[in-house]
């Protein structure tokens, strides 16, 4: 790439010519403020907070251009700290604030709000232009996501993320001028639109306009109820992000402290979803082998990610039979707790409250799917996000950083490295291959790291030669993360271009480590740190440190089969651990009359 | 072609159509048939004649008799007298043409005398729904010439040489624009005609499309040949049904005639045009938002670069030209750049169409050479302000332009001159204001428009204009302070300098220009709590004068009981109670209630 010389505030830097002024300024050690900018996702020059004064070879550019989209030119002279720029940036932030619900002290994002931080950095001490505010609406009807228009600053980060990263596009700008807002079509509730509740919009949101629906109070109530036996499971990816809530670098594994904190919060038993991840491998691996050998529907596609399941039900119903019938590890865990565990410990399952901590917002909706129960007992009663757990720990005044490392409880707390890596894209595939390869070869293989399925490339492919029915067969697999990438893979399968045996799909880019429930990493911090990579590395590190790294070596899981389930995909497994899927309509219109009225209104 | 001894041209533009010109045309046809003249006389529906104030307009050739303010009732008399007996019905003629003994030909009438019609040359002359009439006026000759005698480079050079600038507002060189798109390699390029005319009071583009749609189609094909595009889109507002209808007919006829479609003039060049309807968002006139809209997305502006010439519609090289710009192109090709440059000024050659409106006698559409003074347009052509009111200001460029005063009347109109005094050419709206207009209220009006019409993407335009409007509201309600004027200016400058697209960058112009030229009016509102023009309701007081006879009518009609007084005594309005509805003033038989 050709390079050009650009001078920023008197500092000359030599940068590739496709750089923006914003990126060039970083090279010069100058931090231009941004708000709507989300690298590679939302570069739309909308907030006008990154404006600069520029001249090119002595000729001043008209007005104040936005540095986030302004491409560098040789001989460009940029000034970011002139009275004109300072005043313009300040005024634009003030204009945003004037139309923002400024209840910062009682806001969920107090402390992690990017707008709040910007105000601090820019020294906003007064909002000169006050006046009317946009109509405030709160939509908290879905199980997963709350939309609060009074907080929305119309940066468009969620819009671009949903549309371009996820390929879904349920959020967009609606109305015009001062009345502009970001909303689903027809101002429908998030519960009635083809949202998969992945929560990537929450991850993109710099403020609290999009946030998870909180179940913290329900969980406190359960803990405080002496009649209830409250058990908690934590998903693989949570441990790689929870520390960020307490100042640890992005991607620090805090398993021990997390367990200690959960015990101090008052949960009766602290278990681990890693356990049921191992269990999933046995069920799903067995299902795969049976499909391959018995001519079942292929490719088989993983079903751990509820966002993905919903996406498939909404957009690719023709692939429903390809989905593994296995419940997700969250649901499997819940089902086991209220059956096997209750029976073993002699606890009345109606007294058990099953709580999960997930990196995910879609898990909240999954837990509430009507079919997710056995004998009338809900698999999971409340699903919390990593952030909610962080909040609970803070509210309980637990000094997280000073906690000792503690261990999960038996008999549902043991896990292998294979379960641990579920949180990263490719992790389920790798865990499955470890077990399937052992079973098919009848050996305890040493080579267990499948590098081809690791990393953050959108679609990954690999093939392994394994003996199936005595014949060496090339088993072809694919891994996709982010629903847009999932669509690509499905389209290639549909077109007959690809023929895989097994596909792993995670709804979130990077997999669960970058789920919608994980700790917020600001747009600015993401320029230096990639949470997808850092958190995945933490999980692979954990995997390497564990004595057992294959799911079928998990002693507690094997004991579960021995004592209770008898065999993978057996009768009891089917009752407890497997589920079914349905084709879903995209826009639910409960009252047709209302819809007709709406159309009429549009016609006018 | 059939020969007729007489032609009755009935204006079929939007203005005259809304005063029932279709019924007038129908009555002409019926009556002519009754008189058995239908083999001799043809009735034609044309595009706009320009002098909308006098509509519906009917012109009868060969005499060129200009019948103004026509009604259905007058048709029979005109048919019997004029068409049958050859006696022009003077009493129905346009005043000015019948004032003197000798009937004035159209070209001598003041309204038309100083005009030079290039873009409008066929408007009001031909039947826009008949391609053969366009062809008879040298239509598609320019396209033929270009395809058979010229290379694309030569076409671009010719347009460059002519100095034609974009008539949509910004005034960028058309030839340059084409030359940017031409060298870009792509499997598809596009030509877009921007017919999303949105300025309040502007109807130049509508009239061209209604009166001469083929000129636009021909120019698009020429542009397509010049840059290597085979596909064109006309983005036109759905609010222009007549224009859309005529365009549809024109495209169909051009395709049937082989003037659009495959292998035009046997040159191997293909060009096709499709219509896309806009849903009424003002911002869709901005080219990047317009392209989004054609793509089926929400019309929102995006940052430039990339410019459309490099990455336009669906990411392909695209040129976007305004209707009026395109309407000039065939004439430039046929007559050469020298001819075009013989009108107008050195920096802005050619002519410009303006939509004259507001407080002006001759409301309508005029086309004058660039460099014509505002005074000539407003007084000589427009006939000045009605009712001998004093001219106060002229607003050019719509919501993006500014207000100019009588001190600016002798400025020769061109892009640079208007920009230099804080307004802009814009697409050609020209709204005249007289002493009864409050300039604060005018600024408020335009800002109210932008607050609604901002696409909502960038902060300064979406939020800033609203705050400006709130301040203006405050001022017109008599609650403003001098500090508010500073705030207003500060905001305006920030919006101008930091907005994403042209809409926001120009939105404060009406406020900035009025603040500059009519600051005294703002100050009167703020300091004296007075609206000098008597427009701002909150600042008005209804007062009962000594002429009051004590009839009690006003007291009885007042909805809030604000008027007190005994019979046969002078009544008094309690200003605290008065809601300024004006009912008393309307009711008073003695004109004893005044507004002050």
CATH classification of A99-126+133-212 is 3.30.70.20, yes or no? Answer: yes
DSSP B93-110: B-HHHHSSSSPPPGGGSH
In the predicted model, what is the mean pLDDT of residues B494-509? 95
Q: Which part of chain A has CATH 3.30.70.20?
A: 99-126+133-212
Chosen CATH of B6-109 out of 3.40.30.10, 3.40.1160.10, 3.90.1150.10, 3.10.20.30: 3.40.30.10
CATH assignment, B351-434: 3.10.20.600
Distance from CA of B474 to the nearest CA of A (A): 11
Distance from CA of A14 to the nearest CA of B (A): 22
What is the C-alpha to C-alpha distance for residues B18 and B9, in angstroms, rounded to an integer? Answer: 17
Q: What would the pLDDT profile of B211-238 be if each residue is shown by its tens digit? A: 999 999 999 999 999 999 999 999 999 9
* B464 at interface of A, judged by CB pairs closer than 8 A: yes
Q: What would the pLDDT profile of B233-243 be if each residue is shown by its tens digit? A: 999 999 999 99
pLDDT at A590 over 70: no
Distances (CA, A) of A288 to A94, A293, A304, A322, A432: 57, 9, 14, 11, 9
Taking an 8 Å cut-off on Cβ atoms, the answer to whether A51 and B498 are in contact is yes
What is the C-alpha to C-alpha distance for residues B256 and B253, in angstroms, rounded to an integer? Answer: 5
Report CA torsion sign: A170, A173, A176, A180: positive
Q: What would the pLDDT profile of B443-461 be if each residue is shown by its tens digit? A: 999 999 999 999 999 999 9
pTM of the model: 0.92
* A350 at interface of B, judged by CB pairs closer than 8 A: no
Q: Which part of chain B has CATH 3.30.70.20?
A: 541-595
Q: Which part of chain A has CATH 3.40.50.1780?
A: 216-577
Q: Which residue has the higher pLDDT, B424 or A258?
A: A258
Contact at 8 Å (CB) between B276 and B235?
Answer: yes
Q: Which part of chain B has CATH 3.10.20.600?
A: 351-434
- Phi then psi dihedrals of residue A599, to 5 deg: -60, -40
* B589 at interface of A, judged by CB pairs closer than 8 A: no
In the predicted model, what is the mean pLDDT of residues B11-26? 92
Q: What would the pLDDT profile of A430-485 be if each residue is shown by its tens digit? A: 999 999 999 999 999 999 999 999 999 999 999 999 998 888 999 999 999 999 99
Selecting from B470, B487, B490 the residue whose C-beta is nearest the C-beta of A132 gives: B470
Q: What is the mean pLDDT of chain B?
A: 93
Give the three-state DSSP class for B352.
strand
Taking an 8 Å cut-off on Cβ atoms, the answer to whether B303 and A66 are in contact is yes
pLDDT at B372 over 80: yes
- For residue A62, give every residue at least 6 positions away whose Cβ sits within 8 Å of its Cβ, in sequence order, or none: none
In the predicted model, what is the mean pLDDT of residues B337-348? 94
Distance from CA of B469 to the nearest CA of A (A): 10
- For residue B101, the model assigns a pLDDT of 79
In what helix (H) or strand (E) does residue A484 lie, and over which residues does it extend?
A: helix A483-494
Chain B residues within an 8 Å CB radius of A156: 457
Task: Supply the DSSP symbol for B288.
Answer: H
| Chain B from 273 to 302: CB within 8 A of any A CB | 281, 283, 298, 300, 302
pLDDT at B160 over 70: yes
Q: Give percent of chain B above pLDDT 90.
A: 85
Chain B residues within an 8 Å CB radius of A51: 497-498
- For residue B285, the model assigns a pLDDT of 92
pLDDT at B516 over 90: yes
What is the C-alpha to C-alpha distance for residues A551 and A428, in angstroms, rounded to an integer? Answer: 11
Distance from CA of A55 to the nearest CA of B (A): 15
CATH assignment, A216-577: 3.40.50.1780
Q: Which part of chain B has CATH 3.40.30.10?
A: 6-109
| Alpha-carbon B581 to chain mean position | 33
- For residue B58, the model assigns a pLDDT of 94
CATH classification of B541-595 is 3.30.70.20, yes or no? Answer: yes
What is the C-alpha to C-alpha distance for residues B112 and B366, in angstroms, rounded to an integer? Answer: 8
CATH assignment, B439-527: 1.20.1440.230
ipTM at complex level = 0.91
Taking an 8 Å cut-off on Cβ atoms, the answer to whether A180 and B459 are in contact is no
* pLDDT band, residue B424 (cuts 50/70/90): confident
Q: Give percent of chain A above pLDDT 70.
A: 99
Q: Which part of chain B has CATH 3.40.50.11540?
A: 131-339
Question: Which ranges constitute the DSSP H helices of A252-361?
Answer: 255-265, 273-294, 306-315, 329-336, 342-345
* A172 at interface of B, judged by CB pairs closer than 8 A: yes
pLDDT at B200 over 90: no
- For residue A10, give every residue at least 6 positions away whose Cβ sits within 8 Å of its Cβ, in sequence order, or none: none
Q: Which part of chain B has CATH 1.20.1440.230?
A: 439-527
Q: Which residue has the higher pLDDT, A408 or B575?
A: A408
* B238 at interface of A, judged by CB pairs closer than 8 A: no
* pLDDT band, residue B580 (cuts 50/70/90): confident
- For residue B1, the model assigns a pLDDT of 63
- Catalytically active residues of A, by annotation: 284, 287, 304, 324, 363, 366, 371, 512
Nearest residue on chain A to B466, alpha-carbon basis: A178
Structure tokens at A33: 């403020």
Residue in the block written with tokens 């009937």 = B103
CATH classification of A3-95 is 3.10.20.740, yes or no? Answer: yes
Chain A residues within an 8 Å CB radius of B455: 176-177, 180
Taking an 8 Å cut-off on Cβ atoms, the answer to whether B463 and A96 are in contact is yes
pLDDT at A592 over 90: no
Q: What would the pLDDT profile of A43-87 be if each residue is shown by its tens digit? A: 999 999 999 999 999 999 989 999 999 999 999 999 999 999 999
Q: How many CB pairs under 8 A join A and B?
A: 110
CATH assignment, B131-339: 3.40.50.11540
**Closest alpha carbon to B215 in B280, B140, B318, B320:** B140
- For residue B65, give every residue at least 6 positions away whose Cβ sits within 8 Å of its Cβ, in sequence order, or none: B59, B82, B88, B93, B97, B103
Q: Up-side HSE of residue A138: CA atoms within 13 Å toward CB?
A: 8
Taking an 8 Å cut-off on Cβ atoms, the answer to whether B457 and A96 are in contact is no
């Amino acid at each position: 790439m050709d390079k050009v010389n650009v001078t920023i505030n008197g500092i000359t830097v030599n940068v590739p010519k496709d750089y923006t002024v914003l990126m060039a300024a970083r090279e010069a050690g100058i931090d231009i403020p941004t708000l709507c900018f989300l690298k590679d996702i939302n570069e739309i020059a909308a907030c006008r907070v990154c404006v600069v004064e520029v001249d090119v070879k002595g000729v001043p550019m008209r007005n104040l251009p936005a540095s986030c989209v302004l491409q560098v030119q040789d001989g460009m002279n940029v000034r970011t700290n002139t009275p004109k720029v300072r005043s313009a940036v300040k005024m634009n932030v003030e204009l945003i604030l004037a139309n923002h619900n400024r209840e910062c002290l009682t806001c969920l994002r107090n402390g992690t709000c990017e707008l709040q931080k910007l105000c601090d950095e820019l020294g906003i001490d007064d909002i000169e232009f006050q006046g009317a505010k946009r109509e405030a609406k709160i939509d908290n009807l879905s199980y997963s996501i709350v939309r609060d228009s009074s907080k929305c600053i119309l940066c468009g980060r969620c819009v671009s993320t949903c549309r371009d990263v996820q390929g879904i596009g349920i959020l967009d700008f609606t109305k015009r001028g001062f009345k502009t807002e970001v909303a689903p079509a027809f101002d429908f509730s998030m519960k009635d639109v083809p949202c998969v509740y992945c929560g990537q919009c929450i991850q993109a949101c710099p403020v609290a306009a999009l946030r998870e629906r909180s179940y913290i109070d329900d969980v406190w109530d359960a803990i405080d109820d002496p009649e209830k036996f409250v058990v908690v499971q934590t998903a693989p990816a949570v441990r790689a992000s929870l520390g960020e809530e307490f100042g640890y670098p992005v991607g620090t594994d805090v398993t021990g402290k997390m367990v200690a904190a959960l015990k101090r919060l008052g949960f009766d038993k602290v278990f681990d979803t890693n356990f049921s991840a191992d269990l999933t491998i046995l069920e799903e691996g067995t299902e795969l082998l049976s499909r391959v050998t018995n001519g079942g529907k292929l490719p088989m596609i993983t079903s751990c990610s509820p966002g993905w399941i919903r996406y498939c039900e909404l957009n690719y119903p023709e692939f429903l039979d390809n989905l593994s019938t296995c419940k997700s590890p969250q649901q499997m865990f819940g089902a086991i707790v209220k059956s096997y565990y209750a029976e073993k410990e002699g606890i009345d399952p109606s007294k058990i409250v099953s709580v999960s901590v997930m990196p995910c917002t879609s898990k909240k909706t999954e837990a509430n799917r009507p079919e997710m129960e056995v004998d009338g007992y809900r698999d999971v009663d409340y699903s919390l996000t990593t952030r909610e757990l962080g909040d609970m720990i803070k509210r309980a005044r637990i000094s997280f950083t000073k906690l000792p490392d503690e261990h999960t409880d038996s008999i549902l707390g043991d896990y292998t490295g294979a379960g641990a890596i579920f949180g990263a894209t490719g992790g389920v595939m790798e865990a499955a291959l470890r077990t399937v390869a052992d079973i098919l070869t009848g050996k305890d293989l040493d080579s267990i790291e499948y590098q081809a399925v690791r990393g953050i490339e959108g679609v990954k492919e690999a093939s392994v030669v394994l003996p199936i029915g005595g014949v060496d067969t090339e088993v072809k697999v694919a891994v996709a993360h982010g629903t847009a990438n999932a669509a690509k893979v499905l389209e290639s399968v549909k077109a007959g271009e690809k023929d895989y045996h097994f596909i792993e799909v995670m709804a979130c880019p990077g997999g669960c480590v970058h789920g919608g429930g994980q700790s917020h990493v600001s747009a600015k911090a993401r320029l230096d740190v990639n949470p997808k990579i850092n958190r995945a590395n933490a999980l692979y590190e954990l995997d390497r440190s564990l004595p057992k790294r294959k799911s079928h070596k998990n002693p507690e899981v094997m004991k579960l089969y021995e004592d209770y389930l008898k065999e993978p995909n057996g009768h009891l497994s089917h009752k407890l651990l497997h589920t079914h899927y349905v084709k879903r309509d995209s826009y639910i219109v409960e009252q047709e009359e209302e819809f007709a009225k709406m159309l009429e209104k549009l016609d006018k | 072609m059939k020969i007729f001894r007489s032609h009755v041209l009935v204006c079929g533009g939007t203005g005259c159509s809304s005063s029932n010109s279709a019924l007038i045309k129908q009555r002409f046809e019926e009556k002519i048939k009754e008189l058995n003249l239908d083999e001799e006389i043809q009735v034609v529906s044309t595009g706009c004649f320009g002098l909308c104030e006098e509509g519906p307009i009917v012109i009868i050739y060969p005499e060129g008799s200009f019948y103004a303010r026509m009604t259905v009732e007058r048709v029979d008399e005109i048919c019997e007298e004029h068409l049958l007996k050859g006696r022009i019905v003077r009493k129905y003629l346009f005043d000015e043409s019948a004032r003197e003994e000798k009937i004035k030909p159209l070209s001598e009438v003041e309204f038309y005398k100083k005009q030079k019609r290039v873009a409008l040359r066929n408007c009001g002359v031909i039947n826009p729904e008949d391609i053969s009439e366009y062809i008879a006026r040298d239509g598609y000759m320019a396209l033929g010439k270009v395809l058979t005698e010229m290379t694309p480079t030569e076409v671009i050079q010719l347009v460059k040489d002519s100095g034609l600038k974009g008539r949509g507002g910004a005034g960028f060189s058309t030839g340059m624009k084409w030359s940017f798109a031409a060298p870009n390699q792509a499997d598809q390029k596009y030509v877009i005609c921007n017919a999303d005319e949105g300025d309040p009071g502007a109807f130049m583009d509508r009239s061209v499309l209604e009166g001469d749609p083929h000129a636009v189609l021909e120019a698009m094909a020429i542009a397509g040949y010049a840059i290597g595009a085979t596909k064109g889109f006309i983005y036109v507002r759905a609010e222009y049904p007549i224009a859309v209808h005529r365009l549809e007919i024109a495209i169909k006829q051009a395709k049937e005639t082989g003037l659009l479609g495959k292998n035009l003039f046997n040159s191997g060049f293909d060009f096709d045009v499709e219509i896309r309807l806009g849903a009424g968002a003002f911002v869709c006139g901005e080219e990047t938002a317009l392209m989004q809209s054609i793509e089926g997305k929400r019309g929102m502006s995006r940052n430039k670069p990339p410019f459309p010439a490099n990455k336009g519609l669906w990411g392909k090289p695209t040129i976007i030209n305004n209707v009026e710009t395109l309407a000039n192109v065939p004439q430039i090709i046929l007559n050469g750049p020298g001819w075009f440059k013989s009108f107008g000024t050195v920096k802005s050659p050619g002519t410009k169409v303006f939509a004259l409106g507001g407080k002006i006698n001759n409301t309508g559409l005029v086309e004058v050479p660039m460099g014509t003074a505002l005074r000539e347009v407003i007084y000589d052509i427009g006939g000045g302000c009605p009712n001998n009111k004093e001219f106060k200001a002229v607003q050019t460029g719509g919501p993006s332009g500014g207000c100019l005063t009588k001190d600016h009347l002798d400025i020769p109109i061109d892009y640079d001159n208007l920009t230099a005094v804080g307004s802009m050419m814009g697409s050609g709206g020209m709204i005249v204001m007289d002493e009864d207009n409050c300039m604060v209220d005018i600024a408020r009006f335009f800002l109210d428009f932008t607050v609604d019409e901002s696409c909502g993407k960038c902060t300064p335009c979406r939020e800033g204009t609203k705050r400006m409007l709130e301040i203006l509201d405050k001022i017109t309600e008599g609650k403003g302070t001098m500090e508010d004027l500073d705030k207003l200016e500060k905001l305006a400058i920030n919006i101008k300098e930091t907005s994403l697209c042209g809409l926001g960058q120009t939105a404060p112009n009406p406020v900035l220009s009025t603040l500059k030229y009519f600051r005294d009016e703002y100050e009167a509102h703020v300091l004296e709590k007075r609206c000098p023009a008597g427009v701002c309701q909150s600042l008005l007081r209804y007062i009962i004068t000594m002429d009051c006879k004590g009839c009690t009518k006003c007291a009885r009609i007042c909805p809030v009981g604000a008027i007190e007084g005994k019979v046969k005594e002078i009544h008094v309005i309690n200003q605290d109670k008065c809601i300024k509805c004006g009912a008393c003033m309307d009711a008073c038989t003695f004109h004893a209630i005044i507004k002050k």
